[in-house]
Structure 1
Amino acid sequence: MMYGFAWDSSTPLAYAVSILPILLIGLGVTLKAAAAGFAIALALGLVFALMRRSRLRAVSWSTAVLVEFLRDTPLLVQLFFLYYVLPDYGVTLPAFLTGAVALGLQYSAYTSEVYRGGIDALPRGQWEAATAVNLSRAQIYRAIVIPQVVPRILPTLGNYLVAMIKETPVLCVVTVLEMMGLANMIGERSFEYLVPLTLVGLIFLLLTLICSVGLHWLEKALPKTGIPLR
C-alpha cells in the first residue's frame, strides 16, 4: 500500500489499473518539476545570452566559461552538488526546489546558445537601422529582435522541453518522488517491475507526443516574419 492505495496483482491488467493512480501522483510532480525547470532555463538562458553579448570582455568571457561548465558537466553531478554540498555552506534547499534549479541551470546553458544563435542570425543592417533612428537597446530587443527570434528558436526550445521532461527521473536520487521514483518503489514492494516501468514508459511516450504535436501546431501558428508586438 502506498499513498492510501492498495494494488491488485491478480492479473497484469488489474495490477496496472490499481497502481495507475499512484503513478499519476508522480506524473504531477514530474510535470511541476519540468515546468519550473523550463521556466528557470528560459529566463536564465536569456540572461546568459545577453551577458555574452556584453561589450565588457570580463562579463562576456566569464559568462562563456560558466555556460560551458554547465553544458559540459553531468546533470547528476550538479544535482548532487546542490543537494549535498551547498548545505555544508549554509544553503539548504528543499528536494523539489533543488531538482527544479538543477534542471534549470543545466538547460539554461543550452537555451542561452539557442537565444544567442537566433539573435546573431538577424541581419546586421537591422541593428544599424534601429540605431540610426535612435532606438534604445531595450526598444531594439522589444520591437525588432524578439518578434523575429521567437519563431526561429521555438522548435529547438521545444526539443529541450521534451528532453527536460525525460530527464526528471534523475531527481529521484535526491528523494523527489516523481513518476519513475514511485514506479521503482512499487516494484520494490510488489516484486513486480515490468508493469509499473512499462506504464511509466508509455506515459512518457504520451507526454512526448503531446508536446511534439503542440509545438508543431504553435510553430505553424506563429508568423514566419515575426510576432507583432504592441
Structure 2
Amino acid sequence: MNMLGLLAHVVPATVDTPDIDDSTSFWRWDFAWEVLPQMLSSFLQVTLLVTVVGTMIAVVLGLVIAILIRLLPKPLSLLVTWIANFIRMTPIVVQLLVLFYGFVWMEPMTIALLVYGVHYSTYMSEVYRAGIDSVPTGQWEATTALSMPATRTWRRVIIPQALRSTVPSLGNYAISMFKDTPFLISISVMEMVTTALEIGGFTYRYIETITIAGLIFLIASYGTAVLVNRLEKALAYAH
C-alpha cells in the first residue's frame, strides 16, 4: 500500500487538516473526540488482538518448553534451552522482519501473532521453570510413593502449585507485550501508536493522538494488572 492509500485507510474522512490558528492550539477537544473512534478501532483490531492471542500462545508454549527442558534427556534438553535462549536474546523486530521477508506467503497479522507468542513464550518458560523448581521435594517424593502416573503428577500436583507463584510474572509479560506492539510497523501492520503518528502527520496535530494512545495503553495495562491480581488471589484461596 502506498502512502496516500495508507493515510486514507488510517485517517477518518471527517478529520480535516487544521488551519493555522487551530494548529497553534495546544489541545483541541473536538479533534480528540473526532479521532478517538479510529484510535480505539486500531487498538481493538490490532494491538489488543495481538496481545491477547500472543499471550495465549506464550502461556501454553512457555509451559510446554519448561516441561520439555525438565523431562527430555540432557542433550535434547540443552538443545531446547539453546533455541529458547536464542529466540529470547534476539530483538523481536528482527524476528518480525525475518519472517516478513522470508515467508512472503504469510499474512503480516499471522506473522505478528506467531512472533509475539513464540518470543514471549521463551520468557514465560523461565518463569514456569522457577515455579516448578519451587515445588517442595516432598511433593515429588509423595507422587512417586503413591505410584502416580507422570501426566497426573504434572496436571494435579506440580503445575497447580507452580502457577500460584508464577501468575504475577506472567501478567507482567502480558503487559510488556502491549508496549512492544508498536514494532509491528516494521511489517506494515498499523497498530495504535502508528495510527496516532499517521493521523498526527496528516493533520499536524500530535498532542491529542499520542495522548489518547498513552491513555488507552494505561487503561488496558491497569485493567490487566487488576485481573492478574484477582487471579493470583483466587489461586491462593484455592490452595
TM-score, normalising length: structure 2: 0.87
1:102 corresponds, among 115, 119, 139, to 115
Q: CA deviation at 1:2?
A: 4.7
Note the residue ranges of structure 2 that are not aligned, 5 or more in a row.
1-7
Determine if the alignment matches structure 1 residue 20 to structure 2 residue 36. yes
Alignment correspondent of 2:162? 149
Alignment correspondent of 1:191? 204
Report if aligned partners of 1:2, 1:22 keep a CA contact under 8 Å in 2. Answer: no
1:40 corresponds, among 45, 48, 57, to 57
Taking the aligned partners of 1:30 and 1:79, their CA distance within structure 2 comes to 15
Q: CA deviation at 1:67?
A: 1.0
Taking the aligned partners of 1:217 and 1:52, their CA distance within structure 2 comes to 30
Taking the aligned partners of 2:48 and 2:60, their CA distance within structure 1 comes to 18
Alignment correspondent of 2:101? 84
Q: CA deviation at 1:129?
A: 1.3
Taking the aligned partners of 2:84 and 2:217, their CA distance within structure 1 comes to 29
Taking the aligned partners of 1:77 and 1:26, their CA distance within structure 2 comes to 23
Q: For 1:108-164, what per-residue CA distance to the aligned partner results, in whole angstroms no more than 9, with x for missing partners?
A: 110000111101111112111101211111000111012211121100000001000
Taking the aligned partners of 1:189 and 1:69, their CA distance within structure 2 comes to 40
Alignment correspondent of 2:5? none
Taking the aligned partners of 2:189 and 2:88, their CA distance within structure 1 comes to 23
Q: How many pairs does the alignment contain?
A: 222
Note the residue ranges of structure 1 that are not aligned, 5 or more in a row.
none
2:188 corresponds, among 175, 195, 199, to 175
Q: CA deviation at 1:224?
A: 5.5
Tell which deviates more after alignment, 156-165 or 125-134: 125-134
Taking the aligned partners of 1:122 and 1:219, their CA distance within structure 2 comes to 17
Alignment correspondent of 2:216? 203
| Greater RCO, CA 8 A, separation 6+ | 2
Alignment correspondent of 2:128? 115
1:140 corresponds, among 150, 153, 171, to 153
Taking the aligned partners of 1:16 and 1:173, their CA distance within structure 2 comes to 27
Taking the aligned partners of 2:204 and 2:132, their CA distance within structure 1 comes to 53
Question: Over aligned residues, Cα RMSD in angstroms?
Answer: 1.7
- Give runs of aligned pairs for residues 206-217 of structure 1, distance below 5 A: 206-217=219-230
